[in-house]
A = this chain, B = another copy of it.
């Protein structure tokens, strides 16, 4: 068989192909938006505290009406998969050109009560200073606190207007698989969003150690202590200054600027050194 014939066969086949031959379902995308919040410290001489936070929106329609959920939407039939989270994010937060990374695809049969839906979850990292407009009325930032016990992970999400709490139980040994956990005590979050959030936190804690993704959440200029605080809230533990500085100093460049007026030695401002 020569190549011409083969191409011809393929064309004939494609022209007579019936696309309804296989089961068809809907595909959605959720976006787990991470950012860093400053919360004012009551002691006016102390530094503001950094908080690791995620963006949730309140559902206006059924199903899960009035519950919080991750911003998301349906994939369109003629739309690149990678475009869907961009489009949704632009619509919900007016953010463009943010760091996006595919997180995991969730496909439990009953995850949506309406119909069979498979969800491709993405993770976005934003520098909240770049938020041009106010958030929509039904969106809010929630600070993340994670409490780990034996086979149980409790996550508390706290905004100015609401507090969400849920627990994940480990039902399986495979620690890197989000489906190794079962959701319990979830009152306020829609769909399987607790799994998406948990898996995103896990991914962040891992990748922070061997990539430069944190810098997507930093402003252009920052002090090393501010950067260290971001590492600390993501990792959920304190780091020692000298050790942190040794490791991070390859990734940043000192600038001519300082942050002063704080009642102590001014801190030098650094910026990210692009590795090229």
Contacts and interface: CB of A to CB of B under 8 A. Distances in A.
Interface of A: 6, 9-10, 13-14, 17, 19, 22-27, 62-66, 74-82, 101-102, 104-109, 113-116, 118, 120, 173, 176-177, 179, 211, 276
A23 B77 contact: yes
Identify the interface centre among A27, A75, A77, A109: most chain B CB within 10 Å of its CB. Answer: A27
A114 B14 contact: yes
A105 B24 CA distance: 17
Contacts of A107: 27, 75, 80-82, 120
B82 A179 contact: yes
Given A25-B27, A80-B109, A101-B176, 13 more contacts: A6-B65, A9-B62, A9-B65, A10-B65, A17-B115, A19-B26, A22-B74, A23-B26, A25-B26, A27-B107, A81-B107, A118-B118, A173-B276
Contacts of A24: 24-26, 77
B102 A25 contact: no
A102 B101 contact: no
B108 A105 contact: no
A238 to B, nearest CB: 22
A23 B76 CA distance: 6
A133 to B, nearest CB: 27
A179 to B, nearest CB: 6
23 contacts: A9-B62, A9-B65, A10-B62, A10-B64, A10-B65, A13-B62, A14-B63, A17-B114, A23-B26, A23-B75, A23-B77, A25-B26, A27-B118, A75-B107, A77-B116, A78-B116, A81-B106, A82-B179, A101-B176, A101-B177, A102-B177, A105-B105, A107-B120
